[in-house]
Copies of this chain bind each other. A is one copy, B any other.
Amino acid sequence: MVNENEIINKLASGEIKLHEIEKYTQSIPEAVEIRRKFMETISASRLDNVSHFSLDMEEAMKKNIENPIGAIQIPVGIAGPLKINGEHAEGKYYVPLATSEGALVASVNRGCSTITQSGGANVRIIDDKMTRAPVIKAESVMEAMELKKWIENHFNELKEAAESTTSHGKLLKIDPVVIVGRYLYPRFVYSTGDSMGMNMVTIATESALSLLSKETGAHVIALSGNVCVDKKPAALNLIEGRGKTLVAEIVIPKEIVHKKLKTTPEAIEEVNMAKNFVGSAISGSLGFNAQYANMIGAIFLATGQDEAHIVEGSLGITTAEDKNGDLYFSVTLPDVPLATFGGGTRLETAKECLEIMDAYGSGKVHKFAEIVAATVLAGELSLLGALAAGHLARAHRDLGRG
């Protein structure tokens, strides 16, 4: 039996590797502690807070983490109530937001209040899917064309092979099947139920590819060929959508714009034009919005979504217009991968945060998606309102000076 100090010494000398500690200990908590102590030793620092956690690390090591030393903490605040008129979310919700950016929760909260007072946000799920696009290399463009045709003609067999690996995933289509030179990128499009689904669709696609290779000799270069497009910002996702494609909108009476946001519909419309359209256009941006990533980030962290998917959630377009004197305001988020089950949602704090919205587990993901969209609407509205109020204030001052 090796004792703690011996293990630490062997870690320091490289004799034992970080992921081998579990071999020499009785329990995972013990291994986690030794690993953390080793970190303290080599850095001459104390990890008292990292060690202060309530997560079941044994469970976490099965699904979520390797070489753990503990957990980080991020404060979580509440915005709400937020009235939502969705197909799945109906009523008032409180939204947990995990962030270290001061003023973000307060800003979203102000948006919630404005929306709720205006009768609530309309939200619709435009589309719902998860995708995986491998890359295949043919001998020639002729062979690539034949493979494309084979895929189109054998969709049912490929679907059967893909779905044999999953109880919840359904292969909806393989579209587009892009050809570049002799490379082929078939985009497999699935519905994935309440899971975010990346693992599910990877495994399912691998099964379909096995069939394809067996029948045609097609050579798969990589299970992902970046036409998915996973965790990278891409126009493809903006156009075609990925994860949940969401729209939330609100009409805010002029008086409420004045009272709650201290500005006017016209001023918000102008800021949206100058910043979110013209500014984003001239920058070659894929985000025609002010701060989707802030709300997406805070709600993703609170609820155990994959943090790298914040990249996809940052895409989208905000519109603002005068509608008979009132303000019509909308957010469109084409690409929001979400889960209420599996992955990081099983972490104890994530589960609790989802439960605040009654959005944990099976059959809840559409409700959750609508809450996410309405929350983004609230934050975006609040920031544009603040910018417009500053703009108005400066306009008055400028006039006074003139």
Partner of A77, one of B53, B65, B294: B65
Which residue of chain B lies nearest to A230 when distances are taken between CB atoms in the complex?
B291
Q: Which residues of B contact A103 (CB under 8 A)?
A: 66
Which chain B residue lies CB-closest to A271? B222
- Of residues 321 through 348 on chain A, the ones whose CB sits less than 8 Å from some CB of chain B are 321, 328, 330-332, 334, 343-344, 347-348
Question: Are A49's CB and B317's CB within 8 A?
Answer: no
Cβ of A391 within 8 Å of any chain B Cβ, yes or no, is yes
18 interchain pairs, CB-CB under 8 A: A14-B81, A43-B94, A45-B352, A48-B352, A55-B73, A66-B102, A101-B343, A122-B140, A179-B332, A181-B330, A221-B387, A222-B387, A232-B314, A235-B284, A236-B239, A278-B317, A281-B317, A286-B286
Q: Does the CB pair B282–A317 fall under 8 Å?
A: yes
Asked if A357 CB lies within 8 Å of chain B CBs, one says yes
Q: Are A279 and B225 in contact, CB atoms less than 8 angstroms apart?
A: yes
Copies in the complex: 4
Are B247 and A141 in touch, CB under 8 angstroms? yes
Complex: chain B residue closest to A52, CB-CB: B54
Nearest Cβ on chain B to A141's Cβ, whole angstroms: 5
B141/A124 in contact, CB under 8 A: yes
Residue of A52, A273, A281, A394 with most partner-chain B CB within 10 A: A281
Instruction: Establish whether residues A43 and B356, one from each chain, have CB atoms under 8 Å apart when the complex forms.
Output: yes
Q: Decide: A74 near B75, CB < 8 A? Known: A45-B356, A47-B352, A94-B42.
A: no
- The answer to whether A284 and B238 touch across the interface, beta carbons within 8 angstroms, is yes
Structural contact, A307 and B298, CB atoms closer than 8 A? yes
User: What residues on B are CB-neighbors of A281 within 8 Å?
Assistant: 180, 277, 280-281, 288, 317
CB of A16 closer than 8 Å to a CB of B: no
Which residue of B67, B298, B334 contacts A78 across the interface (Cβ within 8 Å)?
B67
Interface residues as binary, A88-112 with B (CB distance below 8 Å gives 1, 0 otherwise): 0000001010111111111001000
A285 contact set on B, CB distance < 8 A: 226, 229, 232-236
Within 8 A of B (CB), among A287-332: 287-294, 296-298, 300-302, 304, 306-308, 310-311, 314-315, 317, 319, 321, 328, 330-332
| A251, chain B: closest CB distance, angstroms | 8
| Cβ of A398 under 8 Å from chain B | yes
> What residues of chain B lie closer than 8 Å to A169, measured between beta carbons?
none
A90 to B109, alpha carbons, bound, how many Å? 45
In Å, the complex CA distance between A281 and B226 comes to 9
- Whether B358 lies near A43 (C-beta < 8 A) is yes
Asked if B75 and A105 make an inter-chain contact with CB atoms under 8 angstroms apart, the answer reads: no
Q: Assess the B233–A287 pair: CB atoms within 8 A.
A: yes
With an 8 Å Cβ cutoff, the count of chain A residues facing the other chain is 164
* Contact partner, A390, options B140, B223, B301, B394, Cβ 8 Å: B223
When A239-B236, A387-B224 are in contact, do A311 and B308 touch as well, CB less than 8 Å?
A: no
Interface check A171, CB cutoff 8 A: no
A220 interfacial contact with B, CB 8 Å: yes
CB of A228, distance to nearest CB on chain B (Å): 8
A191, CB-defined interface residue at 8 Å: no
**Which residues between 229 and 278 of chain A lie within 8 Å of chain B, taking CB atoms?**
229, 231-240, 247-249, 270-271, 273-278
Is A168 interfacial (CB-CB < 8 Å)?
no
A42 — which chain B residues lie within 8 A by C-beta? Answer: 94
User: What chain B residues lie within 8 Å of A63 (beta carbons)?
Assistant: 100, 102
User: Given A106-B19, A124-B142, do A135 and B275 touch, yes or no (CB 8 Å)?
Assistant: yes
Q: Report the minimal beta-carbon distance from A391 to chain B, rounded to whole angstroms.
A: 5
- Determine whether the beta carbon of A344 is less than 8 Å from that of B141: no
Q: Kindly provide the distance from the CB of A393 to the nearest chain B CB, expressed in whole angstroms.
A: 10
Residue of B nearest to A300 (CB): B307
